Chain A
Amino acid sequence: MTSERHFKPEAILNIRLLVVDDEDDFREIIHKRMSRFGVNPNLAACCSDALASMEAQPADVVILDVAMPGMDGIQCLGKIKGRWPLAEVIILTGHASVKSGMDGMQRGAFDYCLKPIDVMELLEKVELAAQKTLVNREEGMA
């Protein structure tokens, strides 16, 4: 795709990104593709890993799968927004459901996306979330 050349990560380079997904392949591919743009996300395979990772190194933007063993993504979103309200969460799921989409949005998700998703498109969503989180940070300090 020609658009790859045109995407210049900006805000995204100034934030910490966390990708939470129980599929090993998915995490690996996302990590590989994103690192081409200088983006190096933290990775977690389930919600409790994600929360542990956040405790150790809080992320500003989180990409969160919905169907995961243990706590599902929507519950996890609640935990994250409760403890780190300035973090922006992008839900990314393989199974479209209006209900879970609305659930996620009402619990404060920044966006709700469906797999399969083009990495470029996902990066753009992360960039938008990153811009917002930088504003959050600024306002949080003010």
Chain B
Amino acid sequence: MKRLWNSIKDALGIDTRPRLSSEALQEMFKTRYRAFRELLTANSAALEAMAEMEVAVAEEKTYSISFIRSKCTVIIVNLYKMIRNLLLMSDGRYVNLEPAFHRIEEQIIDIIEKKISGNDAGEWLLPINQVNRGIAAQCGEKMANIGEVATLPGVTIPPGFVITASASRAFYLNNDLYNAINRFHHLIDINDIEDISKKSEAIGKLIIDSPLPPSLEQQIYANYDRLTELAGRDILLAVRSSALGEDLEQASFAGLYDSVLNVKRDGLIKAYKEVLASKYSAAAISYRLNKGYMHEDSTMCVGCMIMIEAMVSGVCYSRALSGNDQEMDIFFSQGSAEGIVDGTKNAGHAVMNRAAPFHLVAMKRAEDGGEGFSEAKALELAMVAMRLEEHFGAPQDIEWCLDAANCLYILQSRPISALLFRDRQEEEETVIDDGRLLMRGGVTGCGGAGCGPVRVVRNHADMMAFQKGEVLLVEHPLPEWAPLIQQAAALVAESGSEAGHLATISREFALPSLFALEQATHTLDDGDDITVDASNRAIYRGRVEELLQEVRKQPNLMSGSPVEKTMTEVLKLITPLNLTDPASPYFRGAYCKTMHDITRFCHEKSVTEMFSFGQRYQFADGASKQMITEDAKPLDWHVINLADGFSDDFDTKSNFIRISQITSQPMQAIWEGMHAYPWEGPPAGGVRGMGNIIFQSAMNPTLDPAISSGLTKKNYFLISRNYCNLSVRLGYHYAMVEAFISSLRTERYVTFRFRGGAADETNRVGRIELISQVLEYFQFRVEKTGDALAARVEKREQKFIADRLRVLGYLCIHTRQIDMVIDNPQHFQRYRNKFQTEIEAMIGNDQ
């Protein structure tokens, strides 16, 4: 309404502009310019953080939840700064912006901040025979499965109890551990194994030193005493991890968490805390970071079961790992099974058929025992295994043992990770026989080939010394070497099998690996270059090119992980740009849907505010001046001085200014780029009809065309000594160049926007493609949407920034009207070459 009244008054020639003293206006203008400058710096910081998030996703980099939280914080804080400054500059316009911003902010917080509630009413302890998959969220998959196993006929498990997720959460919350541990995580460097190791120790110590809630401690002892009474003898417990979210398809967490064995009553509390702390072993931290899991994602439940004194123990896969669906695998050895999954023991191997009546297909005993494992027991185990598979509806990975009385106990049952199955190609092994062969044999963990210098790793110090690209050579494939998997070129172990934890992890990371290659540490010398052909189980001296042709495909480790999901969700609220056209009726604060919209809106409006200040307040110093040539011919360019952009000898009363009177460094650079080469005119063959006249008149890009009024709006430079914003409307396209060249890196950037054209869409998009190729060649970061383009460079040397402005000045002039002919590939190529050659000659080749 007020606006309407004003426009009526305008129409009647009544001046509605506020009147203020010239000093007051000067002060106001200065204050606004300072706010504008702060807004621009905040804009840069926010856009940089957005770009970093996009790059992390596009390049399938590994990123952590701390990364997401940091970037979101940077973006939100800087957007808030932008809004605050825009409101300061605009006499309180744009009131709808803040509510829109806070709405998006709250949605982002909901996504990235995990709230772990303290009012968790769940039981802290449960007897093992009372747990099942219905309450897996309280006891972890592992214990849920084993509890359920106990209900099946003919299946026996050791008695025990579970310390639940609620108990673990109560312990964390009582000691403020979530926050304390997050503080360590924020600063962890994923590539620095030593750093991870140190933090792992510190977190471990923190957990061990924190007291349990007293009533939890009492309940744990009470349960132990109940078990003792039940057994009627002194008992030892196996205290095992059963983490939530463990054993998922995409992430095995194979062997990364500890079990503590042979635990007596007085060691129980410490053992419990040790298992909790094993969630933060260096291997587990590194694995989670690489695979995109948060430590809050996996609450640690702990199972305590009576130790069975095992005569024989092992692992059974109810479907053979070879992929043969008629058979199952049983691995076994003397004593406890830990050695098999740890990879420290070479196991015996029995193959059984999968349907009743069960029978033995093949049996191979290891040298060091397993004699106690009879064929009869193998049949019993096969039967139990199929019963488990039937119950759970999928092939099972089963840990089992036989006690002194030859009684069969099931210790664990879980679905076989898909990663365990080998490809069922009966691959012909090929070996190159030209004298370079060093070793043959072993078991393939993960196929493929890798090459690098050998590094034998036996201890922590060796681990710290490990360099990216080396071949990891170990005696035993212990899970603690897992952090090296990401860095190694290949893995070779003297012991172990394809069933071990490290083998599983090597498959997840697509690292060529070879196990049970005896004498490897004696045959291969530290530091020698070798090529490991894991598929064909062979090792060669030097680099065998023909084996390394196939590029090792790094799988997207984050795929499907909680961190990736968080990123996808949060990016939807950050990066899409809906407000693209300032002329559209939807270009308003209330329509901002993403953080990118907010930055775009604030930026656009802040430029407009600075632009219109002189006019609105009748402030001569802030009004526009027209450019003239040195011999006083008028040019079609206009300049508004925001601060210190004109030389001291310029008379502020004058309406005309020469380029020599401009002190703005960025404007000078753009100007140079515009004038380095004369425009060659509109492209031949693209000139049609009435357009011809306009094109002709535009032959000299800087002379004021008499017919411009209808088609071209004025072209403005907004400047200060360090700043320039140029809006150009040349013919039918719109371009915006903006830069700040400060002595401070934080303040340095160039940004470019380009849109439109007179040609049809294919051609307009073709021109965008051409410009984007040239910009990328000159190291801009480019984003294209349809016939619009945005490009940016920040925080580089001052000369680099100034040269980018010359590039943009050049392009503003020379891309005119080429959209008429760009669909011809020859034209495309010719322009590209011409642009790159001329620009390089202009700025000197600093590529």
Q: Which residues from chain A sit less than 8 Å from chain B, CB to CB?
A: 2-3, 6-8, 67, 94-99, 101-102, 104-106, 111-112, 114-116, 120-121, 124-125, 127-128, 132, 135
Contact = CB atoms under 8 A, between A and B. Distances in A.
B113 A8 contact: no
B663 to A, nearest CB: 18
25 contacts: A2-B797, A7-B745, A94-B186, A94-B187, A95-B183, A96-B69, A98-B73, A98-B76, A98-B105, A98-B109, A98-B112, A99-B109, A102-B76, A105-B77, A105-B81, A111-B77, A112-B73, A112-B77, A114-B70, A116-B187, A120-B745, A121-B745, A124-B744, A127-B744, A128-B746
Contact of A98 (B34, B108, B187, B743): B108
B66 interface: yes
Is chain B's binding surface mostly helix, strand, loop or mixed?
helix
Interface in B47-72: 66, 69-70, 72
A125 B77 CA distance: 14
Size category of the B interface is: 20 to 34
Interface in B27-52: 34, 38, 41
Given A98-B73, A115-B187, A124-B744, 18 more contacts: A3-B745, A7-B743, A94-B183, A94-B187, A95-B183, A96-B186, A97-B69, A98-B76, A98-B105, A102-B77, A102-B105, A104-B77, A105-B81, A111-B77, A116-B187, A124-B745, A127-B744, A135-B34
A93 B647 CA distance: 43
Q: Among A2, A95, A102, find the residue whose CB has the most chain B CB atoms closer than 10 A.
A: A95
Interface in B740-788: 743-747
A116 B743 CA distance: 23
B73 A97 contact: yes
B80 interface: yes
A27 to B, nearest CB: 17
Nearest to A112: B77
Contacts of A111: 77, 81
Contact of B72 (A6, A98, A112, A132): A98
A115 B179 CA distance: 16
Contact of A96 (B41, B66, B746): B66
Nearest to A118: B745
A87 B524 CA distance: 65
Nearest to B109: A98
B223 interface: no
A104 B798 CA distance: 32
B72 to A, nearest CB: 6
Interface in B110-131: 112-113
B575 interface: no
A74 B113 CA distance: 19
Contacts of A8: 743
A104 B81 CA distance: 11
Contacts of A102: 76-77, 80, 105
A96 B70 contact: yes
Would you list the 4 A-B pairs with minimal beta carbon distance, nearest first?
A96-B70, A96-B73, A96-B69, A124-B746
Contact of B744 (A95, A97, A98, A128): A128
Contacts of A96: 66, 69-70, 72-73, 186
Contact of A101 (B34, B41, B66, B73): B73
A114 B183 CA distance: 12
A99 B113 contact: yes
B182 interface: yes
Contacts of A101: 73, 76-77
Contact of B743 (A6, A115, A120): A6
B338 to A, nearest CB: 38
A121 B109 CA distance: 27
B620 interface: no
A95 B699 CA distance: 58
A97 B74 CA distance: 9
A105 B80 CA distance: 8
B74 A114 contact: yes
A120 B744 CA distance: 9
Contacts of B69: 96-98
Nearest to A116: B187
A105 B85 CA distance: 12
A104 B70 CA distance: 15
Contacts of A99: 109, 113
